[in-house]
Structure 1
Amino acid sequence: MKKILKTISILLLVITFSCGDDDNGRFSSDPSSGWIEFFTSSTTTGQTVSSVTIPVSVRVPEYLNGLNITYTIEAVEGDYTQFVSSNGGTLFADPALVGGEDIYARALNVDLELMNMEVGRDFVTSFDVILTAVDASNVTIGVPGSSHITSHRVTIPCSNPDVLPADYFVGDYAISDVAASIGPGNGTENFGAGTVTLTVDPFNPNVRLFEATILPAFTGGAPFPTSIEFSVDDYVTLGGYVGAGISCNGVDEYGFTSAAAADSVPWDVCNDLSITINYVEDPNIACGGPYASSFSLTKL
């Protein structure tokens, strides 16, 4: 019985290896044949990086004279030429660099220098880098009839500017608690749910002003001046202390203040549909605080 199980195990290993190595098998009779492909299908750059690197796999055991591999760049969304100065190029697979045990994992890089990345932008740009040809008749771009990756999409995301656009997070938004302690614990809300109208602070273009109700069951729904600030470090906080004019201990005022940067939510100039603002509830310890709390703004 043990011999039978051992035989079956060996057969399974042979079958598994054969199926997984099918493409290598197509070229095993000629070590100078093979294919070229990308390792991955997409990359999203950082907001302000100066270059992007796209690894290319040379799946050829031997290329004694080297290989010239060409690629082109094609627009997908927006005008990529404001960031990349070329529309293609050629890579050289140098035979002098061949080495290592894994002869089917040679790597080259498409290195693209990026321009104008320090400029704030409220749009996304993307383009495809496409492998087009290789100067060896027995080496192909990908393998016909297979799923090898011959096109790699690069996405350049929005980049938050130092000064917000005048129409960013402006207008009517629905406000509601996300996490709160004193309000829900006493049958009400920290920020009364409803509609608030955000406007630009005339003294700071990165601040939005609005009026909100705080603990409406105890304050009668009176509006309190409130603000949020979009930091140049890419996070959003309360713009300053918001007091409710009430106290649990009869001495200290209950209110809200901004959370630390590390506890705050990042903002994205390409998205003004909704955001969550983390804040410190009851920083004066008037009602047992402080508590980590948050509220959301959703565009109407």
Structure 2
Amino acid sequence: MKNIFKLTFVLLLTIVTVSCDETVEEVIYNGNINENNTFITFEKSVYNLPVTIDDSSSINLILNSSTVSSVDRTYDIVLNTDPEITTANDLTYSLPTSVTIPANSYKGTLTIVGTDNNLVDATSKRIVFNISGLSDSESLDADEITVNIFEVCPVPSTFLVGDYIIGDDGSGNFPTGETVSISIGDSETERTFNTIHLPGSGVEAEVDIILGLACNVLSLSNDVDINVACTTGVLYILVPADAASNSNYSLDNDDVITVNYLQDPLASCGSSTVQSFTLTKI
């Protein structure tokens, strides 16, 4: 049995739990750019760009500012050209060289286009970049933004949607016999539901699970991190499995779906292993 404990950080008498890919809510303390420092942030640090087979797709990334200005504010987009970091083929995406927050606005939009070109497959590749050109009074909350690009095939809106019974494989990461309600996520090839991670452990917490459907390959699309550990300073998390370990699906039948994932890749509680849970249609 895992001896897992909750990691708690106290800062100014406030308990704060931080996840690297959680959505950032815009908070404006005083929007006057002449009176305050400016905090610049994308809504997330990790995005998915599913590209339909033999077609193109796009994603809009929203850049938020804590202040408003009377003039346009334009920032440079700088691609990380290290082939070990940005692994996507440059013929499969179009990344603008700048992003602009219009005058009298708190938000700007960066649109990235992905194109199949027979070069994108179900294996996720990364586009990694940062923004530069900030003034001395401006700061950014994330060093780099990652966009995962991968090929998908059209999925009917009724596939893997509705009430299912979740079943854990014995790892204790998820409940068994509980009902979860699955809905379409941010794209037609994503499915999402809410459940309990580490039920009955004393540190259990609600989590949102995102599943990716990519041309008959099904994967966990988000990290599961509730800020717990067996080893101090080493988080116990769940992450997507590698391509060879992902499960498959068929559009002909969504009665029983198996989802594989990688448990404890940082080895906080022991060796990293591939685990799974099942979803059985009610």
**Which structure is larger by alpha-carbon Rg, 1 or 2?**
1
Please state which structure has a larger fraction of its residues in strand.
2
> How does the TM-score come out when normalised to structure 2?
0.44
Q: More helix per residue: 1 or 2?
A: 1
- Could you tell me the TM-score, scaled by structure 1's length? 0.41
